[in-house]
Structure 1
Amino acid sequence: MTALVEGEVRIRLLGGFRVSVGSRDIPDGEWRLRKAKAVVKLLALAPGHRLQREQVLDYLWPGLDPDAAGGQLRKVVHEARLVLDPSLSALDRYLISGEQLRLDPESTWVDVEAFEAAAMRARRTGDPAAYAAAIRLYDGDLLPEDRYEDWAITREESLRSDFLALLVEQARLLEARANFDGAVSALKRVIAADPVHEEAGVALMRVHALAGRRHEAMQEHERLRAALDRELGIEPDPATERLFEQIRSGLSSEPELASELLEQVGGLRLVSGDFQGAIAAFVAAIARLRGSSANHRSARLHRKAAQAHLMMQDAAAAESHLRAAEGLLAGRKDEAEKARIMEARANWLWSVGRYDEAQSAAEASLAAAEVHGTGEDVAAVQETLAIICHMRGAWRPGLQAEIERLGDVGDEDPRLGRIFEFHCCIGEYHLYGDGLCETVEDYARGTLALAIDRGARHAQAFAWCLLGESLLLQGRWDEAAGCLERSTELYAELDARSGALPWQRLAELAVMRGDSIAAATYLRHGMAIAVVSPLARHAWGRLYATAALDALERRDPAEAVRVVRSAAATTARYGECPTCTALLYPMAAEAFAALGDRAGATVFAQAAERVGRSFQSSAWTAMAESARGSLALTDADAGGARERFLSAARLYERAHQPFWSARCRLQAALAGAGCPADRHLLDDSAIAFEQLGALRALAAARRATSERQGTE
């Protein structure tokens, strides 16, 4: 809880309505008019703590004549002002009225807003302490006294769902770090609120088993089964039953069971991007091992711990685990695991800059995996080879050589979908990289021709998408649409778990053209695929960035912020790829800035700058500059914002992205003071939008021009 600030209004809505001003708590009896409280509640919940006068009238007096409703509103606003500040000389100090009603943002603190901001910080950092801080802010469900009011119902459900999700996420972090009692406490809070929350029930079973409380684990299974039958008339998910059987059959071998479960936990944390938690789980699993299989299983766990350290770019720690894994399997006949360790060694070698050795190790690993491993093993080595080729500046010829070789495999091989999903991520680097983006179109056409010649349809789907992306960014939208649609058709025929990216790009194109209905349809297709994709962390950031862009183009920053918060929750589950998520950051900064939320805008402006520093190129630097422009607006620094947006426009132009360049010119003009140079920026952006066919953006530019002319 933050310290009290003299004169600050603190409004609590979670667990019931309470208000304090500085050190003065306002008793409930001081609110003589119920709707005076309602006005404060509505404004406290509203984005930016402001609502149009007509919105308030519709909420509180929906059936009343407008003049009569307006009289009632003036009465309750006067009452609310007196309660907040009885001093007649400062009646509008906290509640300001006009065409809009708003709470003064400089002196207002709201627990819902603080909870949502803390939840987003927790999800972005993955820090258990940050989760605990966010959870403490949830003091109960939203406004229980108003739970049946239309304006409260949806928000109450959303906040409650987010709170329970935070508890589950916190439990996952604690479980991986062997804080089993803390995890149990969090999960029991979820189950107390929602007895049929199967994810929490399954996690509680596992945590009890890890803590050696097998009887409690089996009791939780019976409780969950009974609750699901009683409340929903369904049986537990097959995965729940598999875990139950695993726990039941492992009763006589507790250390081995605990080690196996900890390995599963580590795998889950690895997928979600919690590499510290994954390492902790794998190391704890090693410590639990007993019996004849200890060497084999320890080698596997050391290899997984090394992979987690490599994801954190800690080559020294990874090396110690790799040496341990290699030593444990020396002289043993487990060729599949040896191939996996060799693949991890290849990753270590490229991470320390030994690219030739990395290439040799990866090729040896691939040869062994193809004979002794699984399809997933082969796909993992292919990803490693792709990274090595990329690091050596040879991704393009390497991919074409791969298509030549894989053309003989046949498109029924399930690994191909995953392999080409990963190539889409590397393709993103080429689409946005200086000195690379200019040649992507020709490369995509050549790759497509090769893939068609070899009959490699997964490669064709990839190449159609890459070509469509290049044309989209160049502003050749009609051509782009045909390529992207062909890519979706091929992916649909080949693999239900691949192909989110062309759907996302079609949605992006629809947003740019101003067609939100089509964009929503495309996004639903892409999100359905992302749910089951083995490389979901590459898809979700792009999908949510597009949804946020659409909300901003519709002039609905509150919806864009909701999208950004959903993206943070998804990141906590699936992890995040910085390059694939890059566009979300400036969109998020713009959305928070539009609502006057400097703290939120700062978080994402800093994230955009990190990407710009890590992957230097005109396009990614442009994203960072535009995010900084949005942040400057929250400081009322119109001149600084204008310069940042103009810088972004020039960088986007250098990157051959006309839509984004024009959009930043429009933002620069809107931030400016209406000088002749700004009018030129409006004209330039309007011309560009008209040439592109960006009808909604064109209307926005013309509207701004008309408004400027009307004030001159």
Structure 2
Amino acid sequence: MLGGFAVRVDGRPVPDHQWRHTRAAELVKMLALADRRRMNREQVIDQLWPDLDPAAGAANLRKAIHFARRALGSPDAIDSRSEMIALFPNGTVMVDAEVFETGARRALAARAGYGVADSYAGDLLPEDRYASWAEEPRDRLRTLRLELLKSAGLWHRVLAIDPADEQAHRGLMQSALEAGDRAAVVRQFELLRRHLRADLGVGPDRTSIGLYEKALAMGAATTAPTARELTQSLLARALVQLNSGDHGECERTARRARSLAIESGLGREMGEASAVLGILANMRGGWPELFRAEFADSVRRDPELAGHVLDAHLCLAEFSLYSAAGHEWIGDYAESLRSTAQTADSIQGRAMAELLLGESALFSARLGEARSRLAAAAALYEHGGTIAGLVLSRLRLAEAMLASGERSAAVGELKGVLPLAEKGWLEPHLVVRTYAILVEAAGAGPSAVRQVERADRALVGRNVCPPCSLGYLVAAAKTFADTGHRDQARRRLTDAERLAGMWPGGAWQAAVWEARGALRRAAGDLERAHSFYLEAADRFDEVGRPLDRDRCRSQAASVTIAGRPR
């Protein structure tokens, strides 16, 4: 079960081809994980066939039991004579997952986790990644493994599993501090900061900052802290203040960090300080005014510094495009930015203005204008050497191609963009956006499901910006609903609904209604599917998105109720 499904009966392996009936294998897996290797008949049916009526579910269960007995080589392998379905009720069953869990809990109680951690052969049933019944035990065993590694102080192995685990980073920092290795503490703190991400509004906690500042003080007598080290300390403190609600102090600390970064020519740190100030301004409802001021200031500076500041605001600019106010206001706003950039002769500033104008045209279904402006933005970003803006411009260009019916051209564009998205400093924002459009471009059917599976594998272990993941969640939910994977569709939709709550109204709320319609359609609830698609269409119409509106109206019209199109 750990690392993959394999069965031995009396020491002899059951060949893989014996499990060609998927439900028979799933039944054995579920029983092997169940308490005392038995489950209630109705519980099994609910897990494996949640959408069937009781009679059909019972018939399918009988077939699964038949094929499972055949694979296991004995009619006694599964007992189904009562309401409880049991696996080898008269035999001894050993399950590696259970052996690991029992040993892990004993080791943790005895504070001796080193040896047991090595018996973890891999995640539970990786081939059943999307099976809801496997999720809780898989997560439980993963957590146990991490607890074992932490109890043994194996911090590097913890970070190999979860690069953003702050306790592990702090453990290494503490060890380095005790050894008097100031440089190692500084390196580890910087690694922690990069994994937590200031641009996502997340930073080290007070304890980690305290260790870092102790290390800086340790060498102060002979080596003063560098400007970068001081700036990083200020940025970390600003994030603690932001997340604790001390917004006034956060603003003062972030502005100190920004000033120090500007004086020292630290582009990345200047961008991170701008991101913190932007997040704070967005929380206060004043992001457009702050960005206008920062834009005017940055385009007059060194182009590299300007690029970092503008990149830091890209996600917030995108956030604003999806607000309840819609996107049309951005046109005049972007024109004023372009005028400022032209006066300052700033390539990065002109590129961002063209990007915003291109996005506004795309959302308004002015596809010719959109493609022209987005291509111009991409060329300017490429000339200025700004990866994040280049990636976002090309992603929007791919969306315009899809809207024009040029699917193959869009896929080619996306495949060229993905490597760039993966290496930029805004990778947590851009990679998940790229996969969202790749899923949309895959169309419907098994190819779309395979694209979601590839995306899921690629996103494991990555930092992902929650708002930027919304498009991917909606696309995945619709894909799973359209292919009959309703349980997976529900999971993605639940996550999307939670994130869409950040926008009171707006395009993402409309997109969630569309995904709800797809799920209701998959469940055969055609009345509600029809209503949900129309709700989505109305909401898209309210924010001026005719392409999305018309798609949802078409979906509503295609729903058949009582044998007649509505």
> TM-score, normalised to structure 1's length?
0.56
State the distance in 1 between where 2:343 and 2:550 align. 39
Correspondence for 1:545: 436
Correspondence for 2:209: 322
State the distance in 2 between where 1:24 and 1:521 align. 39
CA shift in 2, pair 1:674/1:448, >3 Å:
farther
State the distance in 1 between where 2:498 and 2:25 align. 43
Shift of residue 674 of structure 1? Answer: 7.2
Q: 125, 149, 166: which is aligned to 1:137?
A: 125
Q: 343, 362, 368: which is aligned to 1:472?
A: 362
CA shift in 2, pair 1:675/1:596, >3 Å:
closer
State the distance in 1 between where 2:25 and 2:471 align. 44
CA-to-aligned-CA distance 1:17-67 (integer Å, 9 cap, x gap) = 435699899xxxxxxxxxxxxxxxxxxxxxx9xxxxxxxxxxxxxxxxxxx
State the distance in 1 between where 2:190 and 2:144 align. 23
CA RMSD of the aligned region, Å? Answer: 4.3
Is 1:649 the counterpart of 2:541 in the alignment?
A: no
Correspondence for 1:361: 253
Q: 619, 630, 640: which is aligned to 2:507?
A: 619
Correspondence for 1:586: 474
State the distance in 1 between where 2:250 and 2:25 align. 66
Q: 150, 157, 167: which is aligned to 1:280?
A: 167
Aligned partner of 2:292: which letter? Q
Is 1:343 the counterpart of 2:235 in the alignment?
A: yes
Correspondence for 2:149: 179
Is 1:381 the counterpart of 2:273 in the alignment?
A: yes
CA-to-aligned-CA distance 1:96-121 (integer Å, 9 cap, x gap) = xxxxxxxxxxxxxxxxxxxxxxxxxx
Correspondences of 1:108-147 after superposition (within 5 Å): 135-137=123-125
Percent of aligned positions with the same letter in both sequences?
25
Shift of residue 177 of structure 1? Answer: 6.9
CA shift in 2, pair 1:544/1:534, >3 Å:
same
State the distance in 1 between where 2:562 and 2:236 align. 58
Correspondence for 1:682: none
Shift of residue 431 of structure 1? Answer: 0.6
Shift of residue 368 of structure 1? Answer: 2.0
Aligned partner of 1:595: which letter? T
Correspondence for 2:421: 530
Shift of residue 299 of structure 1? Answer: 6.8
Correspondences of 1:152-191 after superposition (within 5 Å): 179=149
8 Å CA contact retained: 2:486, 2:519: yes
Shift of residue 435 of structure 1? Answer: 2.4
Shift of residue 309 of structure 1? Answer: 10
Correspondence for 2:522: 634
Correspondence for 1:16: 17
State the distance in 1 between where 2:312 and 2:366 align. 25
CA-to-aligned-CA distance 1:152-181 (integer Å, 9 cap, x gap) = xxxxxxxxxxxxxxxxxxxx9999878399
Correspondence for 1:148: none
Contiguous gaps of at least 5 residues in structure 1: 2-11, 26-47, 49-79, 86-128, 141-171, 183-209, 212-257, 680-712
CA shift in 2, pair 1:664/1:287, >3 Å:
same
CA shift in 2, pair 1:181/1:20, >3 Å:
farther
8 Å CA contact retained: 1:298, 1:328: yes
Shift of residue 582 of structure 1? Answer: 1.4
Shift of residue 456 of structure 1? Answer: 1.5
State the distance in 1 between where 2:276 and 2:482 align. 42
Q: How many pairs were matched up?
A: 454
Correspondence for 2:58: none
CA-to-aligned-CA distance 1:586-632 (integer Å, 9 cap, x gap) = 22112111221112211211121111123333211112212222222
Aligned partner of 1:18: which letter? W
State the distance in 2 between where 1:523 and 1:536 align. 15
CA shift in 2, pair 1:338/1:290, >3 Å:
closer
Q: 397, 400, 407: which is aligned to 1:506?
A: 397
> TM-score, normalised to structure 2's length?
0.69
8 Å CA contact retained: 2:199, 2:312: no
Correspondences of 1:292-691 after superposition (within 5 Å): 293-294=180-181, 298=185, 308=196, 318-326=205-213, 329=216, 332=220, 333-336=224-227, 337-372=229-264, 374-411=266-303, 413=304, 415-435=305-325, 437-495=327-385, 497-498=387-388, 499-552=390-443, 556-673=444-561
8 Å CA contact retained: 1:542, 1:581: yes
8 Å CA contact retained: 1:305, 1:321: no
Shift of residue 135 of structure 1? Answer: 4.1
State the distance in 2 between where 1:19 and 1:353 align. 56
Aligned partner of 1:287: which letter? Q
CA shift in 2, pair 1:668/1:282, >3 Å:
same
State the distance in 1 between where 2:563 and 2:125 align. 46
CA shift in 2, pair 1:340/1:290, >3 Å:
closer
Shift of residue 490 of structure 1? Answer: 0.8
State the distance in 1 between where 2:376 and 2:143 align. 41
CA shift in 2, pair 1:398/1:310, >3 Å:
closer
CA shift in 2, pair 1:285/1:17, >3 Å:
same
State the distance in 2 between where 1:480 and 1:423 align. 21
State the distance in 2 between where 1:305 and 1:347 align. 13
Shift of residue 288 of structure 1? Answer: 1.8
